[in-house]
Structure formats: C-alpha cells, structure tokens
Structure 1
Amino acid sequence: MQIISRLDRVMADRKMSVNELSERIDISPVNISRIRTGRVKAIRFSTLMKLCDELDCQPGDLLEFTRDDTVVPQRRRRTTKKDASDEA
C-alpha cells in the first residue's frame, strides 16, 4: 500500500509554480517539491490545510491511496557513487 502525491497535477491545473505556491502559503520551495514528488514520509495537517485552501481543493485531490495489487510506476531513484560500488 502506498500514498501517491497528486500535487503536481493540481498545481498544473491551476498553472501555479512551486515558487508561487511556496510564497503564497509560506512553505519552502524544497518542501513543496518534496511533497509534489512524493519524497516525504509525512505531512502535517496544517500544511495540508494550507495547500487545500490555496489550491481550492480537497485532501483527496492531492493524495491517492493504492493497494499492493495496483501497479504504480515507480520513480527512478538517483544512483550515488556508493550505490554504484555496491552493484559492482
């Protein structure tokens, strides 16, 4: 099971950039990007409320739950030098 972020879709629908959203809700662009790409393990309700308020949406528009039997394309992970040496 996993939760998938759909923030990028909602932002695209609203034609809003990471920097613009960041300024409007007073959250760093890095944190917005992490939420957008799904690279977070948790999100505060206060952050979720700010996002929903500014983007005029519901939490379900930003997050999607999938079961293990649902195939979801995984994002490629960046390989570090350490990872490359482990593979050799």
Structure 2
Amino acid sequence: MSEVVTAAVTALQSKMNGESFDGSAKFVIEGEGSLIIEGTTVREGDDDTDVTLTADQETFESILSGDLNPTAAFMGGKLTVDGDMGKAMALAGVLA
C-alpha cells in the first residue's frame, strides 16, 4: 500500500468520525492505489463496489480537506464517477 493510500485511509476514518455509509464506495487515487469505504470501515482495497470515484492525488486531497467540493470536482472533470450516482451523492454528504 502506498503512503498516500495509507494516509488517505487514516484521514477518511477520522473525517467520517464513526458515521456510517450505506453501501460501498471505492476511491481510486491515480498512480497510488485505491481504498474502500463500507459502513463505518475504511480500508485499502480494489474490490467491486456500488460506486467508484477516480481522481488524481491533488484532487483527492483537496476534496478530503474540504477545499474542493466533490460535485464541483465532478462537474469540472477532475473526478470521475462510475456506478451508482446516488451512492456518490450520499458519500459526498458523509464526507462534508
């Protein structure tokens, strides 16, 4: 697991603060790896999920820090979404 993914797992666990996500989502950080969110769990992985979000490291970190709204990133072409768009929107709410 890359240091970027390891740091992302820790940061997402903290940001979720025990809040549960109904479903499963995968964040693919281009060139680094991927992580999975299921329920209250965040872990490294590349399993099939309800929705997959893909972005470069800079975009992912900006979303995670709150400097970039996930919807704005998607509309601007910095974030791609594959799968259940409803789950992607729900995830944005959990991470806000």
**Considering the TM-score relative to the shorter chain, is it more than 0.5?**
no
Q: Which has the larger radius of gyration?
A: 1
Normalised by the length of structure 1, the TM-score is 0.33
Normalised by the length of structure 2, the TM-score is 0.31
Instruction: Indicate the structure whose relative CO is greater, using CA pairs within 8 Å and at least 6 residues apart.
Output: 1
